[in-house]
Amino acid sequence: MHLDGMDLNLLVALDALLSERSVTRAASRLCVTQPAMSIALSKLRTQFSDQLLERVGRQMEVTPFGQQLADSVKELIFEIRSVLNRQSEFDPATDSRNFRLLMSSSVAEIFGNPAMRSLRDAAPNLRCQIDIFVTAGLLRRLQDGEIDLAVQLYEPGLWDPITDLESLASEPLFRDEYVVVVDQSNQCFRNGVSFEAFCAADHVETRFGGDFRSTVERTLSTMPERPRTPLLVSTYALAIDALIGTSMTAVVPRQVAERSPHSGRIAIFEPPFKLAPLNHKLIWHRRNENDPAHIWLRHFLRDFSRSSAFIGH
């Protein structure tokens, strides 16, 4: 579609380029090839008579003119999408819609996938994409409109230094707690887990996205004594898998442990130190507050989190 000689599809590319400050990342975000994104950038430079992105040292920076465009382009895209998705009501039996959800791998396993299986019957034409959250930037992606809903612990200060929290809305979804998991044959923990025994055993650390550490690891780092960690893995499921047949420990959410394929081969204990509960929330941007389809999906996920299909698993 063109308006006054401007290909409106280029606005989406422009928003991605200005947000990501990288041709490669912008291409990945829009699921197009890098050459295609390079061509789009070339057309945009011609259209605006400005470089928009310039190489400074080893990275790309947005030009002053590009910075002036950034917020206006983003808001324009939101408005266009709002017009295209506008409807007075949503009928899950017949209406179609695409949604993009963000959650951790463990939440996707214990909640996301089961919810999506149930969703197929309730709204057969609704299409959802689940992205896995592994690094900081979750709140920015909500604000930028990259994702529609997040299911996550609400820790803004941990995720990214965002300040406009008033633009986000949330509601409680489900609660979990951390537990210590060991191989069932481990004789060291027959009578429970003391802090001394926990520190004496090797520990499998779960570290998300490189240096992004879990609540457990941040808590352990403040203690005068902690176990040795010969192994770091990226998910709780891998942590459980790694300790099978060994004397190692792992600290994971209870629901992950109880729903694990290894549940018959592990023993579960209360941690010998205090850990905050895991209060998972449904998070969205307030621009979607009154969208009928968005409202319906939020209610569906909330109801599923309280259903026997989830709680009684």
pLDDT of residue 303: 95
Element (H, E) at 180: strand 178-183
* Residue 295 confidence class, pLDDT cut points 50, 70, 90: very high
- The mean pLDDT value for 44-67 works out to 88
Query: Which of 242, 199, 188 is CA-nearest to residue 223?
Result: 199
- Separation of alpha carbons 283 and 104, rounded Å: 13
Instruction: State the angle between helix axes of 9-20 and 64-85 in degrees (0 to 180), rounded to the nearest 10.
Output: 130
Sheet holding 266-269, edge to edge: 249-253, 178-183, 266-269
- Separation of alpha carbons 224 and 309, rounded Å: 42
What's the half-sphere exposure (Cβ side, CA atoms, 13 Å) at 53?
Answer: 23
Q: Are residues 131 and 146 in the same domain?
A: yes
- Separation of alpha carbons 17 and 293, rounded Å: 29
Query: Which two tokens mark 256?
Result: 């992950």
Give percent above pLDDT 90 in the chain: 47
Query: Which two tokens mark 216?
Result: 């457990």
Strand pairing category for 149-153 and 278-285: antiparallel
On whether the pTM is more than 0.85, the answer is: no
pLDDT at 309 over 80: yes
> Considering 85, 113, 136, which residue would you say is the last residue of a domain?
85
CATH number at residue 47: 1.10.10.10
Q: What is the pLDDT of residues 165-183, one digit of tens each?
A: 778 899 999 999 999 999 9
Cα–Cα distance list, 75 to 48, 52, 82, 108, 255 (Å): 18, 18, 10, 30, 39
pLDDT of residue 7: 73
pLDDT at 3 over 60: no
Residues 134, 256, 154, 117, CA torsion sign: positive
141 compared with 251, residue with greater pLDDT: 251
The lowest-confidence range among 201-210, 234-243, 278-287 is 201-210
State the chain's mean pLDDT as an integer: 86
Cβ contacts of 225 within 8 Å, gap of 6 or more: 195, 199
* Residue 115 confidence class, pLDDT cut points 50, 70, 90: very high
Is residue 66 in a domain?
A: yes
- The mean pLDDT value for 208-232 works out to 83
Q: Are residues 167 and 219 in the same domain?
A: no
> Considering 64, 85, 106, which residue would you say is the last residue of a domain?
85
Strand pairing category for 231-233 and 204-208: parallel
Q: Are residues 130 and 205 in the same domain?
A: no
pLDDT at 234 over 80: yes
Q: Are residues 186 and 259 in the same domain?
A: yes
Give percent above pLDDT 70 in the chain: 88
Cα–Cα distance list, 52 to 29, 37, 70, 128, 189 (Å): 18, 14, 10, 33, 60
- Separation of alpha carbons 221 and 223, rounded Å: 6
Q: Are residues 186 and 232 in the same domain?
A: yes
pLDDT of residue 204: 95
Q: Are residues 182 and 241 in the same domain?
A: yes
Structural domains counted in the chain: 3
- Separation of alpha carbons 310 and 106, rounded Å: 14
Q: Are residues 301 and 154 in the same domain?
A: yes
CATH number at residue 243: 3.40.190.10
Q: What is the pLDDT of residues 260-270, one digit of tens each?
A: 999 999 999 99
pLDDT of residue 158: 55
- Separation of alpha carbons 158 and 146, rounded Å: 20
- Separation of alpha carbons 268 and 262, rounded Å: 12
Query: Which two tokens mark 44?
Result: 């945009």
Q: Are residues 114 and 237 in the same domain?
A: no
Is residue 92 in a domain?
A: no
Is residue 40 in a domain?
A: yes
Is residue 235 in a domain?
A: yes
- Contact predicate 231/309, CB 8 Å: no
> Considering 58, 85, 112, which residue would you say is the last residue of a domain?
85
Domain extent at residue 306: 97-176+278-311
Sheet holding 212-213, edge to edge: 212-213, 204-208, 231-233
The lowest-confidence range among 89-93, 137-141, 219-223 is 137-141
Residue 133 is given by DSSP the state P
Q: Are residues 241 and 214 in the same domain?
A: yes
Q: Would you call 228 helix, strand, or coil by DSSP?
A: coil
Q: Are residues 183 and 169 in the same domain?
A: no
Q: Are residues 226 and 257 in the same domain?
A: yes
Is residue 262 in a domain?
A: yes
pLDDT at 211 over 90: no
Q: Are residues 7 and 81 in the same domain?
A: yes
pLDDT of residue 83: 67
